[in-house]
Amino acid sequence: MEDCIFCKIIRGEIPSAKVFETETVLAFLDINPVSKGHTLVIPKAHYATFPEMPADIIAALGQALQKIGEAVKSQLNSAGFNILLNNDRAAGQLIDHSHFHLIPRNLGDGVMDWPPVRPYAEGEMEAVRGAIESAV
C-alpha cells in the first residue's frame, strides 16, 4: 500500500528502531511508547485488519511475539508484558495495517489499568454466547 506508514517502514522509506525481522514479520520500537521497550509487531504484507490475515501469518506473528516478549522480560527487567491488537477504529486502530503492541509491564506501573467491569444483565450472557456461537 503506497500511503501506509508501516508499509513505508517495511520498504525502508521511513527509519525505524528494528528489533526483529523475518521474511514475513517486522518488529520495531514504537515512537510513542507507553513504556520503555513498547514494540510494534507487524506483518510485512499489508492487511488492514486482523481477520484479513491468513493463519500462517498470524502464527508467524505469534512466534515473533513470544521471542520479543521473552527478550523484553530478560533484557529490560520487566515483570511481564501485554500484547494488544486494536482492530478497527472503534477499538482504537489508528493505522490501517494490522499490528500488535507488545508493552513491557512492571507491578504497579499503572500503564494500562483494566477498566471497570460491566456485568451482564440477567439472561444477557446466554444471548451473547448464542449469537457468537452461531456465527462461528
Summarize pLDDT for 98-126 with one digit per residue, the tens: 999 999 999 999 888 878 889 999 999 99
User: How high is the pLDDT of residue 134?
Assistant: 95
CA dihedral 18, 21, 24, 29 (to 10 degrees): -30
Q: Which of 79, 73, 47, 78 has its CA nearest to residue 60?
A: 47
CATH class held by domain 5-135: alpha beta
User: Whole-prediction pTM value?
Assistant: 0.91
Domain ranges of the chain: 5-135
Q: Which positions are annotated as active-site residues?
A: 99
pLDDT given at position 25? 98
